[in-house]
Chains A and B, each alone.
Chain A
Amino acid sequence: MHYLRSFLHYLRAEVFVLPTRIIAVAFVIALLILPLFTQDPYLLRMLILASVFAIYATSWDILAGYAGQISLGHALFFGTGAYTTALLGLHLGLPPSLTVPLGAVAATLAGLAVGIPCLRLRKHYLALATLAFPLMLTGLVFMFPGFSGGEGGIWRIARLAATRVGEYYLIVGTMLAVVLILWRIAGSRVGLIFHAIREDEVAARALGINTIRYKLLAFAISGFTAGVAGALYAHVTRIAGPSNLNLFMSFQPIIWTIFGGVATVYGPVTGVFILYPALDLLHVVLPQYRMLIFALLVLFILRFMPQGVTTWVRDRIERVCPSCRVRNVATRRTCRACGAELRD
């Protein structure tokens, strides 16, 4: 009873005061109870893939949005995760419960392997050096077709769960857990240091921050998360192929993240859950023009909301208190924390 009361108090004091938090909680609840109302396989599959891509997009946001290490080759981590889980399943016959974590570990190692040589590179040089790695790995995949499946990829990877609903809960649960952990990391001291490194690396180092360690940490976290996404993707689509490593796969998380709002964690999730179903719907309605409309949609929305959708919406419905920096509903006259007057 006591816990219930404190929980209700927490909801009232911390969640229901801000519209964005209400939206976030409502979104999570809706995702969790959806299979109770409909078990349409098409809809479930779409949401499963959207959840996998949400993990992938958020991993890009941690590395590029927070730590400022813009990676144009994020497909390296995604593809490493996918290929590791597929190869372990194919050659050693291991179950998914083992191969998915191993895929994520392999992607973490890939993150460190890319991060270490790239430590000296800044900004655009780093972005373009990272662009190179997945394409070089693609070259390796084509060189050893007997081992890696070559151009056709690896087929018939094991399913994660026997039923579609089981798979749905497994993946949506993983997505929510990963996003929550990343959100906590981003809000912690580590996240603050990532911000500092992005804004001014030299100044951060002058403050005594070991920027090398934190940059590698960003690469490792991001690689691990993207590896989880890649491994899950391989099990959901049941194929791992060179398309997991191509240029478009590297660009996709960037589109979603910047569309949703960079350096926010919830931005990339929003971006994926808007753009991926939209693209899927267009595939059904107008297959020939779907990428055309998709590109126009991204162009126009970014033209009018250059900071991304979530940032634009948040700045319309919420306001920051000028004296204590706490966020408030736009309808309030006074700050909910310090009582200072909120001016327009």
Chain B
Amino acid sequence: MVADILVNGLVHSGVYAMLSLGFGLVFGVGRVLNLAHTAFYMIAAYGIFYLVRMGLAMPVATALTAVGVMAVGLAIYKVFIEPVREVESTVLITTLAAAILLQEVAMVLFGSELRHVPPAFPGYTLIAGVRVGNQEMATLVLAGVCLAGVWLLLSHTRLGLAIRAAAQDREVANLMGINVNRVTAIVMGLGFLLAALAGAAIAPLSPVEPQMWMHPLVIVLAAVVLGGLGSLKGSLIGAVILAFAEVVVVFLVPGGSYLRTAVALLIMVCVFLVRPEGLFGASIAEER
């Protein structure tokens, strides 16, 4: 039981962390509250499903899906979101409409039934006497590589410096000669890439269906604000907390799968009662 909770909690933490990281980056740099973020994760899972059924190997399918999702995402960003970026409430609805659009496209192309992707790494390994599925391990490794990659990009490259500068203050970064619009587009692309990889990581583990974006969206939003908007470290910790809360409720409470979202959100609200700016968020006085 404890081992199950640990393994499942870690796998979900990995997936939610990838999603929250992308979402947090997009919000921090682009000031876009992207409600369509997890819809890209959904279409990536469908992309994997389709390409694997066509007979492609998992790594090839993942690479193709990632490129495809980034292309679709950037097209939607350029055509619909960037022109209205200044009007905050309109961005909210534009991204929501984009999410519904993607859901309906998936529905029309693949139907609403649950689809399953065969695991690329079947079997299991014994670790300290606990059976851990190889697919779960692959998901964890993928999440770890992604997080490390993003960390290296942000902290050790000039592009990363530009991204952090734009996140801190768009206007000043613009004055310092950073092409803020291009940096925003790059960050959007990075967010879509992370969402696509998260979709690739989850596809072999859980059924694929057109509505699978709603639940992670709620959790990602909760994780990002729980950690504090604008703090990437915070959103990762928030993702881990909520993932484990969900898994514990599902395993320990009878009928817990109904309550998992409620409990995760209750934790978020309780944190807000103590710290209104989230665990690692800037307090109101420092906020621009």
Which residues does A use to contact B, with CB under 8 Å? 64, 70, 117-118, 120-122, 124-125, 128-129, 131-133, 135-136, 138-140, 142-143, 247, 251, 254-255, 258-259, 262, 288-289, 291-292, 294-296, 298-299, 302-303, 306-308
B19 interfacial contact with A, CB 8 Å: no
The residue among A133, A135, A262, A307 with the most chain B CB atoms within 10 A of its own CB is A135
Residue of A121, A143, A299 touching B80 (CB-CB under 8 A): A299
Nearest-CB residue, chain B, relative to A293: B104
Residue of A247, A262, A298, A303 touching B214 (CB-CB under 8 A): A247
Please list the 8 inter-chain residue pairs (A to B) with the smallest Cβ-Cβ separation, ordered nearest first: A139-B262, A132-B265, A295-B101, A292-B104, A142-B258, A120-B276, A306-B84, A298-B97
Which of B48-56, B88-96, B119-127, B133-141 lines the interface with chain A? B88-96
Contact across chains for B89 and A262 when beta carbons are under 8 A apart: yes
* Bound CA span A85–B239, Å: 38
Contact across chains for A132 and B98 when beta carbons are under 8 A apart: no
Return the CB mask of B170-196 against A: 1 if under 8 Å, else 0.
000000000000000000000000000
Contact across chains for A306 and B90 when beta carbons are under 8 A apart: yes
Given A117-B269, A139-B261, A247-B214, A125–B104 Cβ distance below 8 Å?
no
Residue of A124, A255, A296, A303 touching B229 (CB-CB under 8 A): A124
Contact across chains for B261 and A299 when beta carbons are under 8 A apart: no
Given A295-B104, A303-B83, A125–B277 Cβ distance below 8 Å?
yes
Nearest-CB residue, chain B, relative to A248: B214
> A291 contacts which chain B residues (CB < 8 A)?
100, 103-104, 107
> A132 contacts which chain B residues (CB < 8 A)?
222, 265-266, 268-269
> A143 contacts which chain B residues (CB < 8 A)?
255, 258-259
Given A121-B272, A292-B101, A292-B104, A303–B84 Cβ distance below 8 Å?
yes
CB pairs A–B below 8 angstroms (23 shown):
A117-B272, A120-B276, A121-B276, A122-B287, A125-B276, A125-B281, A128-B222, A128-B268, A132-B266, A132-B268, A136-B266, A142-B258, A143-B259, A247-B214, A254-B96, A255-B93, A258-B92, A289-B108, A291-B100, A294-B100, A299-B98, A306-B83, A306-B87
Nearest-CB residue, chain B, relative to A70: B89
> A118 contacts which chain B residues (CB < 8 A)?
272
Contact across chains for B80 and A135 when beta carbons are under 8 A apart: no
What is the CB-to-nearest-CB distance from A114 to chain B, in angstroms, rounded to a whole number? 10
Which residues does B use to contact A, with CB under 8 Å? 33, 79-80, 83-84, 86-87, 89-90, 92-94, 96-98, 100-101, 103-105, 107-108, 214, 217-218, 221-222, 224-225, 229, 255, 258-259, 261-263, 265-266, 268-269, 272-273, 276-278, 281, 284, 287
The residue among A122, A258, A288 with the most chain B CB atoms within 10 A of its own CB is A258
Given A295-B100, A299-B97, A258–B89 Cβ distance below 8 Å?
yes
> B276 contacts which chain A residues (CB < 8 A)?
120-122, 125
Contact across chains for B221 and A296 when beta carbons are under 8 A apart: no
> B80 contacts which chain A residues (CB < 8 A)?
299, 302-303
- Given A120-B272, A131-B222, A132-B268, 7 other A-B residues pairs in contact with their CB atoms under 8 A: A132-B269, A135-B262, A135-B265, A136-B262, A139-B262, A302-B94, A307-B90
* Bound CA span A124–B32, Å: 11
* Bound CA span A289–B108, Å: 8
Residue of B33, B87, B266, B284 touching A124 (CB-CB under 8 A): B33
Contact across chains for A139 and B258 when beta carbons are under 8 A apart: yes
What is the CB-to-nearest-CB distance from A144 to chain B, in angstroms, rounded to a whole number? 11
> B83 contacts which chain A residues (CB < 8 A)?
303, 306
Contact across chains for B258 and A125 when beta carbons are under 8 A apart: no
> B224 contacts which chain A residues (CB < 8 A)?
128
* Bound CA span A20–B228, Å: 44
Contact across chains for B84 and A302 when beta carbons are under 8 A apart: yes
Residue of B84, B89, B225, B262 touching A140 (CB-CB under 8 A): B262
> A262 contacts which chain B residues (CB < 8 A)?
89
Contact across chains for A129 and B93 when beta carbons are under 8 A apart: no
Residue of A258, A288, A308 touching B108 (CB-CB under 8 A): A288
* Bound CA span A149–B214, Å: 24
* Bound CA span A34–B44, Å: 49
> B108 contacts which chain A residues (CB < 8 A)?
288-289, 292
What is the CB-to-nearest-CB distance from A215 to chain B, in angstroms, rounded to a whole number? 14
Contact across chains for B214 and A129 when beta carbons are under 8 A apart: no
